[in-house]
Amino acid sequence: MQRKPLSFWQMWNLSFGFFGVQIAYALQSANISRIFATLGADPHQLSFFWILPPLMGMIVQPLIGKWSDRTWCRMGRRKPYLLLGAIVAVLVMAFLPNAGSLNFSSRLFLGLNGAMWFGLFSLMLLDTSINVAMQPFKMMVGDMVGEKQKAKAYSIQSLLCNAGSLVGYLFPIFFTWIGIANTAPRGVIPSSVIWSFYCGAAILILCVLYTFIKVREMPPAEYAEFHGIDLRAQKENAGGEPGLLKLLVHAPRTFWTVGLVQLFCWAAFMYMWTYTNGAVALNCWGTSDTASEGYQAAGNWVGVVFAAQAVGSMIWSAVIPRFRSLKTAYVVSLLIGAAGFISIAFIHNQYLLFGSYLLIGTAWAAMLALPFTLLTNSLSGDHIGSYLGLFNCTICLPQIVAAALGGVILKLLGGVQANMLVLAGVLLICGCLAVSLIKETKQTI
């Protein structure tokens, strides 16, 4: 079916809710290490707290993909899951930053105090709900945008994603600037962080409601015609619907080769999220005392440099479509990002970090747009949601492995958290080498 190309604003509406979802994700990624360190976690334990988010994504997103592939109702196909995830995320964001205010100070199972266990449970629910809300946006682009427009549509999504990150990262320092306390008694999360989560939750639900109201998903017949699906044959084979394992076996080669690049890239960013706070606090403020004013100031500054990363990513997301080859864009982006990571270990002035994180933003822009463009171009329309859900495992699994090994690797690198960011740069270089293996082929089922 030759469908009229979508306008810029139609593609914008498709992804606008992602802006709000990404604010929540940015608040999580920039503040989780800070929150758990404040609650009493040892630096060598920090990476273990980061296992939960990707683990939940690895479980939830394939299921959301498969279920939504076969969901057709008055509200739409993907939109019901989008709304449900957003509602749960808003509720959890109201509770998570208050973990230190509940007087759960006694040590419980595995040597963690009650506040940390409450925080872990809240983090699990938060990341589950963010995953439920996030995945439908990627799927709707695959559902409703033709091949010629997908690179542009995912670039718009990348732009909104990074704009949301920018807002989320800057919230704590903004609230500190207007006079909200950025320090608190030992074991209690500062009010600047708490209010950041409250405001992020409000924006999240408003943005998701905007997309929910403005976007009309295609009904089954129109969708089938657009993607060249034989509805009659699909109904006849409904009882023999392939499971996730069978789909995985018949995944196009693009799925696996891009997944290998993802392995290195997402492990690198897991170490950035986990160890930037400690590295910046020690290198630029000369402290590792989590209750000190310097450590909390460094925590705010992490949000600022992550915002610089988001700015770099927004700028670079406009450059990526200008490359003639998606693979060339991928390699160049990851190499620039690797240089940014490695430079951090040698910087002791907080303002010079802007340059490093602007460079890292180029890698992030590529990671948000290019894998999904390459993958969805290799898929037919019949199982897009399932494949995107399964593909999310190439994002989650490397984070789980990196988090599980983080404490051991940190010891091997002398306990210096900045060295983990050098390792992140090396991992991106490995990702560049893996790009040469990407083959763009069509699925076989």
Q: What is the C-alpha to C-alpha distance for residues 121 and 295, in angstroms, rounded to an integer?
A: 25
Q: Is the pLDDT of residue 200 over 80?
A: yes
The pLDDT value given to residue 153: 84
Q: Is the pLDDT of residue 197 over 80?
A: yes
- Predicted confidence (pLDDT) at residue 215 exceeds the cutoff of 70: yes
CA-CA distance, 150 to 374, in Å (whole number)?
9
In this model, does residue 394 exceed pLDDT 80?
A: yes
Region 35-58: mean pLDDT is 74
Q: Is 12 helix (H, G, I), strand (E, B) or coil?
A: helix
Element (H, E) at 33: helix 8-38
171 in any annotated domain: yes
pLDDT at 48 over 70: yes
Task: Indicate whether 444 pLDDT > 80.
Answer: no
**440: in domain:** no
Predicted confidence at residue 127, as pLDDT, reads 81
**Most confident segment among 160-174, 408-422, 427-441:** 408-422
Q: What pLDDT is attached to residue 175?
A: 92
Give me the helix-helix angle, 353-376 and 147-177, nearest 10°.
Answer: 150
Full-model pTM: 0.74
On the question of pLDDT at 202 being above 90, the answer is yes
Is residue 226 domain-resident? yes
- % residues pLDDT > 90 (the chain): 32
Q: What percent of the chain has pLDDT over 70?
A: 88
Q: Tell me: the pLDDT tens digits for 56-111?
A: 777 887 888 778 877 888 888 889 988 999 999 999 898 888 776 666 555 544 45
**Res 237: pLDDT:** 54
User: Would you say residue 441 lies in a domain?
Assistant: no
In Å, what is the CA distance from 385 to each residue of 140, 167, 353? 9, 29, 38
Between 148 and 429, the more confident residue is: 429
Q: What is the CATH number of the domain that holds 119?
A: 1.20.1250.20
The pLDDT value given to residue 135 = 79
Q: With bands split at pLDDT 50, 70 and 90, how would you rate the model's confidence at 411?
A: very high
368 assigned to some structural domain: yes
Tell me how many domains the chain contains.
1
With respect to residue 80, please indicate whether it lies within any of the assigned structural domains.
yes
Q: How confident is the model at residue 382 (pLDDT cuts 50, 70, 90)?
A: low
Mean pLDDT (whole number) for 167-194: 87
Q: Residue 335 is part of which domain span?
A: 8-435
* Three-state secondary-structure class, residue 413: coil
Of the candidates 300, 320, 429, the one whose C-alpha atom is nearest the C-alpha of residue 369 is 320
Q: Is the backbone of residue 245 left (phi > 0), alpha (psi -120 to 50) or beta?
A: alpha
Average pLDDT over residues 283-307: 87
So what's the pLDDT on residue 238? 53
φ, ψ dihedrals at 55, nearest 5°: -60, -45
Taking the CA atoms of the chain, what radius of gyration do you get in angstroms?
A: 21
Q: Is 245 a domain residue?
A: yes
Residue 323 lies in a domain: yes
Query: 1-21: b or e for each residue (b if 16 or more CB lie within 10 Å)?
Result: eeeeebeeebbbbbbbbbbbb
